[in-house]
Structure 1
């Protein structure tokens, strides 16, 4: 893997947000949810996430997640995703969310 500079890393804006709404996303090619995320001073943002294997809609509400906020919008079918919710693939390739170890204010930047 190529090494990047500290300045390149600092350009990635990773913030914590709380999921406030979760909806099915039946139009997605792979099973996914539509998420509404409160990022504090950055506002309410939308994202989609292929996290249906490990999480139900009910258990996702009020869960804090790490989001990349400066990638720009991405059209996914007829849905516009505004942030990238981060996670890790498990041994089956299913996504496990990246989360802070404890509650922090929405909009807090990963440093």
Structure 2
């Protein structure tokens, strides 16, 4: 594994946001949802996530997630993803969302 410097790590902006809307993303190559995430002072941002195997749309609304906010936009088909929602593979090719252990204000930065 390549080592990075502390300064390089500090350039990664990871913030918490609350999922406020979830819709299907039928155009995606792998099953995915389109997410609208409230990042507090950073505003509402769009993302997509391949998390359909572990989460329903209904249970995702209101859930806080960790997002990388400074990667730039990524075009996925005709959809523009503005943040990267983070998670972990569970050993069965499913993604488990990375979340704070307790609620924190939207837009809070990972320290």
TM-fit CA distance, 1:91: 1.2
- Show structure 1 runs of 5+ residues with no match: none
Residues 20-99 of structure 1: matches in 2 within 5 Å? Answer: 20-99=20-99
Q: Secondary structure at the match of 1:19?
A: strand
Matched residue pairs, number?
Answer: 111
> C-alpha offsets along residues 20-47 of structure 1, whole Å, 9 cap, x if unaligned?
0000000000000000000000000000
Q: How does the TM-score come out when normalised to structure 2?
A: 0.99
TM-fit CA distance, 1:96: 0.3
Residues 5-24 of structure 1: matches in 2 within 5 Å? Answer: 5-24=5-24
Structure 1 consecutive aligned stretches of length 4 or more whose deviation exceeds 2 Å? none
**How many Å separate the matches in 2 of 1:40 and 1:58?**
21
